[in-house]
Structure 1
Amino acid sequence: MNDFTQALTVSASGMRAQSARLRHLSENISNADTPGYRRKLIAFETVRDRETGASKVVPGPVRLDQTERQRIFDPSHPLADGTGHYTGSNVNLLIEIADAREAQRSYEANLKMFDQARQMSAGLMDLLRK
């Protein structure tokens, strides 16, 4: 395949990977106050596309963050134990929002690369038609 196709494949895979990352980050943010919730983490893997020969990124398996969850004191909570504590989530909203911003910027960069490769390909086709 040509270089334009490889560029489109790479940038499209980056957008898909960041989209998956944003989906898990939004789940983490929406469950920040859910008792017992563990933060979801996603890693990326590089694979070789057999059709184009380009290396592309794919989301790996989702893992649960094993850091300590906070213990919250609220004797009136239905999940509170004998000491009045219950286990909260291990989601830190500041980290999740920063990660979401990073994923958004990466998605936008891949989108610009995709659009640029598409415009260059269209320009080349216009030149070849003349």
Structure 2
Amino acid sequence: MSIEVGSKLKGKVTGITNFGAFVELPEGSTGLVHISEVADTYVKDINEFLKVGDQVDVKVMNVGKDGKIGLSIKKAKDNYKSESGNKNHRSRNNRNDRQQENFEQKMARFLKDSEDRLASLKRHTESRRGGRGARRG
């Protein structure tokens, strides 16, 4: 079986980095699943979704002239929908995705939102006080 763009294959996760996961494909070739192609939701830590040795279904997204293979796990799913819909359609899908999140995903999203709000609050408070410890003479 040759590796062609658009084909769906089974592979084994052989390595994980902070930017993605390496997947061994049939015939011994290896491809990379970028962190943005792991799940439909935001992935802060890829280790929450994959482990070395996991068997995964992947879709071949591109094959470079240098032999590098770009893969996607989220697009290999049968129920994957492209983002070409209108804005209301996307927000409706986003709500459905949130209902199907597991606890770790909900907690990661909550922590990110909380950190963003806290940073915004600190910026606002510092600007009211004069910020950065400046003293008036």
**Structure with the higher helix share, 1 or 2:** 1
TM-score, normalised with respect to structure 1? 0.29
TM-score by length of 2: 0.28
Decide which structure has the larger Cα Rg and report it: 1
Normalized per residue, the structure richer in strand is 2
